[in-house]
Amino acid sequence: MLTLEIDGQRVTVEDGATVMDAAHRLGIYIPHFCYHKKLSIAASCRMCLVEVEKAPKPVPACATPATNGMRVWTHSPKAVAAQKGVMEFLLINHPLDCPICDQGGECQLQDLAVGYGQSAHCFSEPKRVVADKDLGPLIATFMTRCIHCTRCVRFLMEVGGYQELGQAFRGEHSEIMPFLEQTVRSEISGNIIDLCPVGALTSKPFLYRARTWELTRRRSVSPHDAWGSNVIVQSRFDQVLRVLPFEEESINECWLSDRDRFAYLGLDSTERLTQPLVKRGSEWVAVEWETALQVAVNRLNDVRAQEEGGRVAVLAHPMATVEELFLARTLAETLEGECDARLRQSSGRADSAREGAAWLNSTISEIAAFDGQWFLGSDLRRHLPLMAVRVRTAARRGAYLVAWSWVADEWRVPGLEWSLWTPATMGAALAKVALVVARRAGDDGALPRWVAEWAADAALSEEGTVALVQRLERCQRRRIWLGEGLLAHPQAAELEFLAGVVATRIGATVGWLVEGANAVGAAAVGANGAQSASELVAEPRAAYVLLHAEPEDFLVPQQAVEAFSRARTVVALSAFASASLRETADVLLPVTPFTETSGSFVNIEGRVQPFTAVVRPRGESRPGWRVLAALTTLLGREARFASTEAVRGAALREGWRERLATKPIARPPVGVPALERVEPAAVFRWYQTDPIVRRSTALAACTEEE
Amino acid sequence: MLSQEALARIDREIAKYPPGKKQSAVMAALRIAQEEHGWLSQEIISFVAEYLEMPPVAVYEVATFYNMFDLKPVGRYKITVCTNLPCALSGGEHAADHLKERLGIGFGETTSDGLFTLKEGECMGACGDAPVILVNNRRMFCRMTRERLDSLLESLRAESEEKGRR
Ligand code: SF4
Ligand code: FES
Ligand code: FES
């Protein structure tokens, strides 16, 4: 521990802390540009110069280690003179085009220039001009404004895992650029917009849309993956114009994935459904809510009267809120039907065979602390972009990381041992590992016969297997991750069992990388049944009620389309009227997306995160939970709630957490078929994961560029 | 893209650093590549990046930072004139102007016969002997008055003809 004095105040910090860290401890602000708490130290802008006793010259606070007995002045005349001098240098080549710059009003340079800038400076030569760069559909560049702090470069290198930008040339000719004819492909690239302290990097979709001070801002939770990133949604005149991260160290730190940041564009899709529609013959007719609900109820009652029980399925997208899913389940019970929110799981067998629901099985913060991690069947960089960030941190700390994937995309994790498999070859190899581990433990006799049969086909040598296992065993905290691809596999139950055989014998824990913002919430409120939604469309039901789900959201979209076309009736509660829904549904009820209703999600680590509406419901649309409650009531079961809080109270009862799994499937599922030669079933479709994401024009442009 | 011999030289450079630190050899690799290829094209830079397992932009940063690396084709003789302050105070600028006039080209340009390229350089550590000139990154000439510059050009021309005849 070191004790020093800053501006006359004493402070104690850990060894290795910088003067900047110590100042932050005291709440003293030192002006800076290149310094960022999450990035390495560059000390390139010199804005943070401070005076230190006995030092001949001012020193940069961000790069100067604190020492015992040090005396620092951050606002002494000498320090301020140095800071002003730096500001004058920074402004030499800066265009000062604030009136036409999108960063205006939220610009670090603008703010600090108010404090340290002069109205005139000594430099009278012409300013330089730098050509703009093409950084893809998300980021607009105005490179003349760049002050070469290299935050963007360091972010992509350190957090993004691959250096896509660099500082080329030298001195006055320096330019931030990607390699010739390349651009930025990081799945978290949007963060460099936030990091850029000037207006050199700005949001392309938001460009010239509004000034920051015109926007209304509300906190919310991102519904596009299971991470539950905290966001600030900014809007004007009831239109969402921008989504930014809300710093939450234990979830998204200060980052946001591009999907979370730019999906909001989908909210304004021309396909937005703003009125209840009923199909008469082949025509869609706009009707009042009363009528639409009555038509829906009549249709569902008809099906109920004619068919024996269990012929109606309520299928919900796992991005639906806790409240919606709870009421969806209530509706299904009222209809004596089934309910499910696992649109991309081939089968519900694994969930039924396991004790408890799939989830991360640790906190998000713990991920970086596992020093041995083995990923099975995940496309992590696209599935959970911010988990990939945490895994990169683990990599930096020297963790041993292995990924068996069936998507040809390495994750930009340094040192990751990545290999490509097919679902079938991975099944065989996993059986081999299980067999070898069990044999070593002397209990391979207890394994079911099929394990050895599967293992016979394995494209993995005995030595390779042993090496992998021993390497994992040398780690302190071992973790096996069951990826979203594995969970989608028809034989997910067997694969999970095999992973469990390995895990228990090498002392590893298992975590499940589930899909959907509220996948854990769906399990928590009991919205899933014995069969997964994919099975419920593979074996068609007489009627379907869809909640935020379009055929495109299912594992096999074509199967969903066929099931819905054949069904006697399909009632869709949706924010959008897609062509596929117009084709296959009979009643379209406009329900609000997450920005227009209150609700809550349970994220992958089991954290309940409530949020409120940001803007008013578009057109006639109503919150899904109200519509579901009304339908249920009309169908003859009282379901009246005053608010989402009230629904949540009923949905998440005391003790729901105990239903989260701690161990993988322990008993082998019965009736195991031969290892299926299935094609990669759940190849993760980038930027196709939910109705809002699919409609974001900017994200669509990114997919095209791929 | 590079000859076996060049690759062997690069491998020798890599071997000077601890395992897993291949990228430390980037300057040497670029130098060897430039010697063989004449200049550093985009393809060559990508090749070196792949060879050293570095992101191409990181190699590009190095290649653009040091002005002894040429990012465009150069003539048979690349003449680099130091124009940093000490040289500039002792006639560096005049030397550059003289060369420009004699060769009819500006900085970064090559004569139409492909013989000379003129480049602006940074301090070569010989300020006391200004003006300082470097030919092909290797041969240094000091106190370059107009006369000495003219005779240098002449001798380079003669040298080139000599080589051409052989
Ligand atoms: S573009 Fe922005 S973030 Fe990147 S170096 Fe320039 S000022 Fe810094
Ligand atoms: S913040 Fe310290 S030098 Fe930039
Ligand atoms: S300034 Fe020209 S050699 Fe030093």
User: Helix/strand/coil (H, E, C) string of A57-68?
Assistant: CCEECCCCECCC
Judged against a pLDDT cut of 60, whether residue A682 lies above it is answered with: no
Judged against a pLDDT cut of 80, whether residue B53 lies above it is answered with: yes
Q: Which atom of ligand 3 is nearest to the CA of B85?
A: 1
Contact between B79 and B115 under an 8 Å Cβ cutoff? The reply is: no
Judged against a pLDDT cut of 90, whether residue A304 lies above it is answered with: no
List, in order, residues 6 or more apart from A278 with CB less than 8 Å away: A284, A285, A287, A291, A292, A295, A586, A587, A588
SS3 (DSSP) at A522: helix
Token pair recorded at residue A233: 């949604």
Mean pLDDT of A339-368: 95
Q: What is the pLDDT of residue A308?
A: 65
Could you report the per-residue pLDDT of A288-303, keeping only the tens digit for each? 999 999 999 999 999 9
Judged by CB atoms closer than 8 Å, whether chains meet at B58 and A164 is answered as no
Torsion over CA: A385, A252, A249, A361 (sign): negative
Contact between A384 and A603 under an 8 Å Cβ cutoff? The reply is: no
Residue B95 in contact with ligand 3 by CB distance below 6 A: no
More confident residue, A503 or A459: A503
Closest of A618, A300, A178 to residue B55, by C-alpha: A178
Is A415 near chain B, with CB under 8 Å? no
Q: What is the pLDDT of residue B123?
A: 93
> Got the DSSP string for B8-75?
HHHHHHHTTS-TT-GGGGHHHHHHHHHHHHSS--HHHHHHHHHHTT--HHHHHHHHHHSTTS-SS---
Judged by CB atoms closer than 8 Å, whether chains meet at A166 and B58 is answered as yes
Judged against a pLDDT cut of 60, whether residue A680 lies above it is answered with: no
Closest residue in chain A to residue B61, using alpha carbons only: A168
Q: How far is CA A282 from CA A299, A301, A582, A584, in A?
A: 16, 22, 10, 10
Judged against a pLDDT cut of 70, whether residue A31 lies above it is answered with: yes
Q: What is the pLDDT of residue A681?
A: 53
Could you report the per-residue pLDDT of A423-455, keeping only the tens digit for each? 888 999 999 999 999 999 999 888 998 999 999
Query: Could you tell me the pLDDT band of residue A671, with boundaries at 50, 70 and 90?
Result: confident
Mean pLDDT of A100-111: 96
Query: Could you tell me the pLDDT band of residue A120, with boundaries at 50, 70 and 90?
Result: confident
Closest of A611, A544, A539, A614 to residue A581, by C-alpha: A544
C-alpha span between A265 and A271 (Å, rounded): 12
Q: What is the pLDDT of residue B91?
A: 93
Token pair recorded at residue A181: 């004819």
Is A178 near chain B, with CB under 8 Å? yes
Structural domains of chain B ordered from first start:
4-65 (1.10.10.1590), 77-165 (3.40.30.10)
Burial class (CB in 10 A: 0-12, 13-18, 19+), A303: buried
More confident residue, B165 or A295: A295
Contact between A151 and A192 under an 8 Å Cβ cutoff? The reply is: yes
Contact between A400 and A373 under an 8 Å Cβ cutoff? The reply is: yes
pLDDT > 90: what percent of chain A? 89
Please list every residue in chain A whose beta carbon sits closer than 8 Å to the beta carbon of residue B44.
none
Facing residue for B61 by CB, picked from A168, A181, A182 = A168
Test the B interface: residue of A44, A130, A153, A169 with most B CBs within 10 Å: A169
Q: What is the pLDDT of residue B164?
A: 78
Closest residue in chain B to residue A172, using alpha carbons only: B65
Residue A263 in contact with ligand 2 by CB distance below 6 A: no
Judged against a pLDDT cut of 80, whether residue A679 lies above it is answered with: no
Token pair recorded at residue A101: 């710059």
Query: Could you tell me the pLDDT band of residue A324, with boundaries at 50, 70 and 90?
Result: very high
Q: What is the pLDDT of residue B143?
A: 95
Q: What is the pLDDT of residue A309?
A: 52
List, in order, residues 6 or more apart from B95 with CB less than 8 Å away: B81, B131, B133, B144, B145, B146, B149
Judged by CB atoms closer than 8 Å, whether chains meet at A168 and B60 is answered as yes
Mean pLDDT of A239-266: 98
Q: What is the pLDDT of residue A696?
A: 97
> Got the DSSP string for B141-160?
E-S--HHHHHHHHHHHHHHH
Contact between A660 and A359 under an 8 Å Cβ cutoff? The reply is: yes
Facing residue for A168 by CB, picked from B46, B55, B64 = B64
Among A59-63, A377-381, A682-686, the range scoring the smallest mean pLDDT is: A682-686
Please list every residue in chain A whose beta carbon sits closer than 8 Å to the beta carbon of residue B56.
179, 182
Judged by CB atoms closer than 8 Å, whether chains meet at A164 and B55 is answered as yes
Give φ, ψ of A549 to 5 degrees. -115, 135
Mean pLDDT of A146-165: 97
Judged against a pLDDT cut of 70, whether residue A677 lies above it is answered with: no
pTM score: 0.95
| CB interface of B with A, residues 54-83, below 8 Å | 55-58, 60-61, 64-65, 67
Residue B124 in contact with ligand 3 by CB distance below 6 A: yes
List, in order, residues 6 or more apart from A369 with CB less than 8 Å away: A394, A477
Mean pLDDT of B111-140: 94
Q: How many CA atoms lie within 13 A of A237 on its CB side?
A: 3
Judged by CB atoms closer than 8 Å, whether chains meet at B64 and A169 is answered as yes
> Got the DSSP string for A316-351?
E-TTS-HHHHHHHHHHHHHTT-EEE--TT-S-SHHH
C-alpha span between A12 and A66 (Å, rounded): 10
Is A509 near chain B, with CB under 8 Å? no
Distance (angstroms) between ligand 3 centre and the Cα of B127 equals 4
Q: What is the pLDDT of residue A361?
A: 97
Q: Hey, how many other C-beta atoms are within 10 angstroms of the C-beta on A3?
A: 14
C-alpha span between A615 and A545 (Å, rounded): 26
Judged against a pLDDT cut of 90, whether residue B5 lies above it is answered with: yes
Is A167 near chain B, with CB under 8 Å? yes
Could you report the per-residue pLDDT of A475-514, keeping only the tens digit for each? 999 999 999 999 998 899 999 999 999 999 999 999 999 9
Mean pLDDT of B28-53: 96
Is A449 near chain B, with CB under 8 Å? no
Mean pLDDT of A566-579: 96
Q: What is the pLDDT of residue A678?
A: 58
Report which DSSP code applies to A264: G
Judged against a pLDDT cut of 70, whether residue A216 lies above it is answered with: yes
List, in order, residues 6 or more apart from A165 with CB less than 8 Å away: A152, A153, A156, A176, A177, A178, A184, A192, B57
C-alpha span between B16 and B23 (Å, rounded): 11
Q: What is the pLDDT of residue A92?
A: 93
Distance (angstroms) between ligand 2 centre and the Cα of A436 equals 54
* CA angle in degrees (0–180, nearest 5) for A481-A484-A671: 90
Q: Hey, how many other C-beta atoms are within 10 angstroms of the C-beta on A408?
A: 10
Contact between A361 and A661 under an 8 Å Cβ cutoff? The reply is: yes
Token pair recorded at residue B53: 């397992």
Report which residue type is found at A562.
E
Judged against a pLDDT cut of 70, whether residue A133 lies above it is answered with: yes
Could you report the per-residue pLDDT of A576-614, keeping only the tens digit for each? 999 999 999 999 999 999 999 999 999 999 999 999 999
Average pLDDT, chain A: 94
- The preferred substitution site among A46, A130, A147 for testing ligand 1, maximizing ligand atoms within 8 Å of CB, is A147
Q: What is the pLDDT of residue A46?
A: 96
Q: What is the pLDDT of residue A38?
A: 97
Mean pLDDT of A179-195: 95
Q: Which atom of ligand 3 is nearest to the CA of B129?
A: 3
